[in-house]
């Protein structure tokens, strides 16, 4: 199935950091003169939204702009493929074209003439379903009243070698506007909440020394963490945001609360333990953390099970209603802090005083040496009605990032663990069998990889008000390095 392609092109003032994170001091403003200004990017596969026999890839365009003339605002487009512009009637439109020139899309029902002369946020999305209804237009974070904009019988998006342009068309028509914060992701469709976040975000946020800039503002406005399994175990986040490749937990208050459910209860009405497994990519900045646990929150010592790190060492544990009567298996070696690791843990449900003999802990695809921890007496879990908490256990909050958290109601094999590790942080839910998958939070870890253009400052140093000479390089600070060249652009300040 083709995932949504998001076009997100970012104009920020900043420098590239590890893993594509951008350190910004503000989003650079570029001023077009309406007669000769243009920014162009060479054709690249990362700009193409070609799909398969059943669907296009989808896209989302988002940018800040101050329009001096709403009849010719060319935000971003790839000629003969996809286009996000305004037209002669001052109406904003987004559409895709096929090889015969037929097209589908949407257009705002009313003109946007009244928005001229002021900064506004403009965005559009396409879900790839090859109908005009698959497109949406947003202004200042809100969905607008739009209508079909189509002609002919559209088949599938055209594939061309045309460059991607902003501020002008290939026909020599030029925009009279200022632009800033133009973002482009490949193969991702932003939700309404994510568009609101893009429209409301200002500046950068810092997590554990990692700068989190404008493209990652897609996450902070989330009100739910969707479960990509079929079990429906959606979670409610608290102080969770998008960071360097996954969901960022701040070490003091970030959690995801998952309501108690039968699918996340691994005991048969307290009469016998049942098997379960947990898999998660973890980037730990601290020493201890809870990955997932069934417990009272805030912590009171009561619960059923937990998987996390103790003094940096991955563990799995079960308890007879209260920690102090529990069995755990704890890895002998701690994870390297600040580095992504794949952690998995399994329990076969054998219960009893030696329940730890039915446990296994894996790091980066391999079973690791581990030592049992025996506290009090243990027979079996007690089938508590507590919520499942992601990101906290034993009053210690995760200080780091998670990606691709999976919970299974069975023991996954060593080969399956190796497969999950090899598949990486952006692997789909079905990287292994989903027959017993009861929770899958991807935390949209692949958004970092979907960012294919993050247009930063010019390669040369300019001051506000300077004119950029023809052919000047404007840097792309994404991992794709799709640097652009410009003609007759004036450097503004920053937003």
| Residue 485 burial by Cβ neighbours in a 10 Å radius (0-12, 13-18, 19+) | middle
**Residue located via tokens 């879900």:** 127
- In this predicted structure, what is the pLDDT of residue 327? 98
Tens-digit pLDDT profile for residues 419-440:
999 988 878 788 899 999 999 9
Tens-digit pLDDT profile for residues 226-284:
888 989 999 999 988 765 457 888 899 999 999 999 999 999 988 999 999 999 999 88
Residue 312 CB neighbour total at 10 angstroms? 16
- Among the listed ranges 243-252, 404-413, 448-457, which one has the minimum average pLDDT value? 448-457
Model confidence band, residue 19 (pLDDT cutoffs 50, 70, 90): very low
Residue 471 CB neighbour total at 10 angstroms? 8
**What is the mean pLDDT of the segment spanning 474-486?**
73
- Among the listed ranges 218-227, 330-339, 347-356, which one has the minimum average pLDDT value? 218-227
The answer to whether 31 and 490 have CB atoms below 8 angstroms apart is yes
Provide, rounded to the nearest whole percent, the portion of the chain with pLDDT above 90.
55
Task: At 232, list the tokens.
Answer: 């429906």
Tens-digit pLDDT profile for residues 38-74:
999 898 887 888 877 788 988 888 888 999 999 999 9
**Over the range 240-269, which residues count as b (16 or more CB within 10 Å of their CB) and which as e?**
bbbbbbbbbbbbeebbbbbeeeebbbbbee
Q: Does pLDDT of 11 surpass 50?
A: no
Residue 433 CB neighbour total at 10 angstroms? 11
Same fold, 13-205+449-494 and 224-443: yes
In terms of average pLDDT, the best of 214-223, 377-386, 456-465 is 377-386
Tens-digit pLDDT profile for residues 95-138:
999 999 999 999 999 999 999 999 999 999 889 999 999 999 99
**Which helix (H) or strand (E) segment is 393 a member of?**
strand 392-393
- Mean confidence (pLDDT) of the chain: 84
Tens-digit pLDDT profile for residues 290-342:
999 999 999 999 999 999 999 999 999 999 999 999 999 999 999 998 888 99
DSSP structure string for 224-257: -B---SSS---BEEES-EE-SSSEEEESSS-EEE
- In this predicted structure, what is the pLDDT of residue 58? 84
* Domain 13-205+449-494 listed as CATH 2.60.40.420: no
Rounded to 5 degrees, φ, ψ at 194 are -70, -35
Provide, rounded to the nearest whole percent, the portion of the chain with pLDDT above 70.
84
Q: Does pLDDT of 352 surpass 60?
A: yes
Domain boundaries, the chain: 13-205+449-494, 224-443
The answer to whether 343 and 290 have CB atoms below 8 angstroms apart is no
Task: At 79, list the tokens.
Answer: 């000629």
- In this predicted structure, what is the pLDDT of residue 430? 83
Q: What's the topology of domain 224-443? A: Jelly Rolls (2.60.120)
Question: Structure pTM?
Answer: 0.56
CA 158 – CA 181 distance, rounded (Å): 27
Q: Does pLDDT of 221 surpass 80?
A: no
**Over the range 77-86, which residues count as b (16 or more CB within 10 Å of their CB) and which as e?**
bbbbbbbbbb
- In this predicted structure, what is the pLDDT of residue 185? 76
First to last CA, the chain: 38
Greater model confidence, 5 or 451? 451
């Amino acid at each position: 199935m083709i995932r949504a392609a998001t076009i997100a092109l970012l104009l920020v003032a900043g420098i590239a950091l590890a893993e594509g994170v951008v350190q910004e001091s503000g989003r650079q403003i570029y001023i077009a003169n309406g007669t000769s200004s243009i920014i162009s990017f060479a054709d690249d596969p990362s700009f193409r939204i070609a799909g398969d026999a059943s669907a296009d890839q989808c896209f989302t365009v988002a940018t800040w702009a101050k329009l001096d003339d709403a009849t010719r605002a060319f935000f971003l487009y790839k000629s003969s493929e996809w286009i996000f512009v305004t037209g002669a009637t001052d109406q904003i439109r987004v559409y895709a074209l096929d090889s015969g020139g037929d097209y589908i899309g949407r257009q705002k029902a009313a003109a946007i003439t009244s928005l001229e002369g002021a900064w506004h946020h403009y965005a559009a999305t396409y879900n790839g379903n090859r109908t005009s209804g698959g497109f949406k237009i947003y202004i200042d974070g809100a969905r607008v009243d739009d209508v079909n904009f189509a002609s002919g019988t559209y088949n599938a998006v055209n594939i061309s070698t045309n460059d991607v342009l902003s501020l002008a068309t290939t026909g020599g028509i030029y925009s009279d506007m200022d632009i800033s914060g133009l973002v482009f992701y490949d193969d991702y469709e932003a939700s309404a909440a994510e568009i609101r976040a893009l429209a409301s975000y200002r500046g950068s946020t810092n997590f554990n020394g990692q700068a989190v800039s404008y493209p990652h503002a897609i996450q902070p406005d989330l009100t739910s963490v969707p479960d990509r399994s079929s079990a429906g175990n959606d979670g409610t986040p608290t102080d969770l945001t998008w960071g360097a490749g996954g969901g960022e937990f701040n070490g003091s208050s970030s959690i995801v609360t998952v309501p108690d459910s039968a699918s996340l209860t691994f005991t048969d009405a307290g009469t016998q333990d049942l098997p379960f497994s947990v898999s998660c990519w973890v980037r730990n900045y601290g020493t201890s953390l809870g990955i997932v646990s069934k417990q009272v929150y805030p912590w009171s010592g009561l619960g059923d099970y937990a998987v996390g790190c103790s003094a940096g060492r991955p563990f799995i544990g079960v308890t007879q209603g209260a920690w102090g009567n529990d069995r755990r298996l704890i890895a002998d070696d701690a994870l390297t802090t600040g580095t992504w690791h794949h952690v998995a843990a399994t329990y076969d449900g054998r219960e009893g005083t030696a329940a730890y003999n039915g446990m296994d802990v894996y790091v980066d695809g391999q079973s690791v040496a581990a030592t049992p921890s025996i506290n009090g007496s243990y027979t079996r879990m007690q089938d508590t009605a507590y919520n499942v908490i992601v990101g906290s256990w034993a009053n210690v909050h995760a200080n780091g990032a998670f990606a691709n958290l999976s919970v299974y109601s069975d023991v996954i094999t060593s080969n399956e663990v190796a497969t999950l590790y090899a598949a990486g942080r952006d692997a789909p839910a079905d990287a292994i069998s989903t027959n017993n998958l009861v929770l899958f939070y991807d935390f949209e870890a692949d958004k970092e990889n979907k960012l294919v253009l993050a247009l930063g400052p010019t390669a040369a140093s300019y001051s506000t008000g300077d004119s950029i000479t023809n052919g000047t390089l404007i840097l792309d600070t994404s991992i794709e390095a799709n640097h652009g060249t410009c003609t007759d652009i004036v450097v503004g300040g920053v937003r």
